[in-house]
Structure 1
Amino acid sequence: MFPANHKHTAGGVDNDAIDGEKRRFRRRHDYSIYVESGDVKTPESAGLLLYRRRQDLEVLLAHPGGPYWQKKDDGAWTVPKGEIRDGDDPYATALREFEEETGLRPHGKTLSLGSLRQSGGKLVHAWAIENDWDPAQLVSNQFTIEWPPRSGRTATFPEIDRANWFALSTARRKILKSQIDFLNRLEAALDSAAR
C-alpha cells in the first residue's frame, strides 16, 4: 500500500512514478473504499454468514472460484462477502454481495458479528442471518482474468464455485483462519440468547 498523501519531493522521490504505481496497484487490486489508518488506507469488505439449527449449529461457507483456489480446501472457505464501495453502508454491501455471489437475498433477524482484520490487512464486517438455504441453488457472478498468467488469453470463473453447510467443528477447519472468530462470536451470541 502507499501513503495517502505522498507530496514531498525531497530526497530524490519521484512523485509522478509513485502516483503511477498507486494507479497500477489500485487497478490490479480494484479496492474501492479505504479506511484511513495512519498514512495507509485499508480496504474494507462486508458479508453475511448464514446459519441453521440442525442436530448441531451449522454455518454456510463459500469456496472462492478461480484457478488459485481450485485445489485448496481446508483454510480456504469464507464468509460470502465483497468490497464496500465508496459511501456504501456496510450492511447494504453485505446483502448485495451475498446476493451477487450466491443468487439468494436472505431475510430474517440479523446478528452483528462485528469486524475482523484479515492477515492481508483487509477489515471485514459480518452479520449472521438464520436461513435454511439449499446450496444447490448457487448462482454466482463471474470474473475474468488473464489465464494462464502472461499468456495474453483470458478466462472467466465464478466468484464462488460452491457453497456448503458445515457443523461449527468442521467450519473452524474449513474457514480462513482470520475469519474463525466470526464463528466463535456467532456461537457465543446464540448461546447467550438461549439462556
Structure 2
Amino acid sequence: MTNKRSAGLLLFRRTGRGSDGGVEVLLGHMGGPLWAGRDAGGWAIPKGEYAPDETPRDAARREFTEELGLPPPEGEYLSLGEVRLSSGKLVTIWAVEADLDPGLMVPGTFTMEWPPHSGTVREFPELDQVAWFAPAMAETKLMPSQMPFLERLLGLLKG
C-alpha cells in the first residue's frame, strides 16, 4: 500500500441549457504519448501529488496552477471527499463553481524517456487539452477511478 496522496479541483459551471440541468464540468486530457489517441477514460480532474507538510486544499490549488498554468478560481470550495485508488493512493477533490476559458490554458510539463529504452528524454504537457463537458459526456471521458467525484458533485447540485 502506497502513502501517496493527491488533491485537485473539479470546476463546474451552470449553463442553463440541456436536460441535465445545464451543468458542465472542466476536465483535462492526460498528456504524453501513453495517452495519445485515448479519449474514453483519458480525461481527468486536474490534480497532483503533495507532501505531508502541505494541506490537501493548498495542494489542490497549487496543482491546478501547475497543470493549467492559470490561477485557481476563487469561490466556495465544496468538498467531494476522498477516494482510495487500487494503487493505494488517496485522492481528495473539491468542486468550485467558475467559468474558465480552456483556450487560456498554458499547461505544465513533465519529462520522460520516449521512446522507451531509447535514452532520449522528452518533455510533454501534463494536460494536452482542457474542455467543458455535460455530465453524460463527462461520464464517457473521465477516468473510471475519478467517477465518484463527478457523482458526488451532481448529488450536491441536485439537492
- For normalisation by structure 2, the TM-score amounts to 0.93
Residues 11-26 of structure 1: pairs in structure 2 closer than 5 A: none
Q: 1:63 aligned to 2:24? A: no
Deviations 1:137-187 (A, max 9, x none): 111111111111110111110111111100001101110111111011101
C-alpha offsets along residues 31-54 of structure 1, whole Å, 9 cap, x if unaligned?
Answer: xxxxxxxxx443110000000001
Structural mapping, 1:6-45, within 5 Å: 40-45=1-6
Partner AA of 2:5 in structure 1: E
Aligned to 1:29: none
Same amino acid, percent of matched pairs: 50
Which structure: greater helix fraction?
A: 1
Partner residue in 2 for 1:117:
84
- Structure 2 match to 1:49: 10
Look up the SS of the partner of 2:4 in the other structure.
Answer: strand
Moved over 4 A (4+): none
Aligned residue among 129, 134, 137 for 1:162: 129
The structure, 1 or 2, with the larger RCO (C-alpha pairs under 8 Å, 6+ apart) is: 2
Q: SS at 2:154's partner residue? A: helix
C-alpha separation in 2, matches of 1:74 and 1:41: 27
Using the alignment, how far apart are the partners of 1:52 and 1:160 within structure 2?
Answer: 20
**CA distance in structure 2 between the aligned counterparts of 1:120 and 1:153, rounded to whole angstroms:** 28
Q: Equivalent residue for 2:41? A: 75
Q: Return the letter of the residue paired with 2:151.
A: N
SS in 2 for 1:42: coil
Q: Which runs of 5+ in 2 are unaligned?
A: none
Equivalent-residue separation in structure 2 for 1:63 and 1:153 (angstroms): 24
Assess if the C-alpha contact under 8 Å between 1:77 and 1:175 holds in 2.
yes
Shift of residue 76, structure 1, vs aligned partner: 1.3
1:118, CA displacement in angstroms?
2.3
- Whether contact under 8 Å (1:49, 1:126) holds in the other structure is yes
Instruction: Supply the RMSD in Å over aligned alpha carbons.
Output: 1.0
Stretches of structure 1 that go unaligned for 5 or more consecutive residues are: 1-39
Asked whether the equivalents of residues 47 and 97 of structure 1 are also in contact (C-alpha less than 8 Å), the reply is yes
Q: Which amino acid aligns with 1:102?
A: L
> Who is 2:149 aligned against?
182
Of 145, 149, 152, which residue of structure 1 is paired with 2:112? 145
The structure with the largest alpha-carbon Rg is 1
- Is the 8 Å Cα contact of residues 2 and 89 (structure 2) preserved in structure 1? no
Give aligned pairs, total. 153
For the 8 Å contact 1:118–1:179, the answer to whether it is kept is no
Asked if residue 130 in structure 1 is aligned to residue 100 in structure 2, the reply is: no
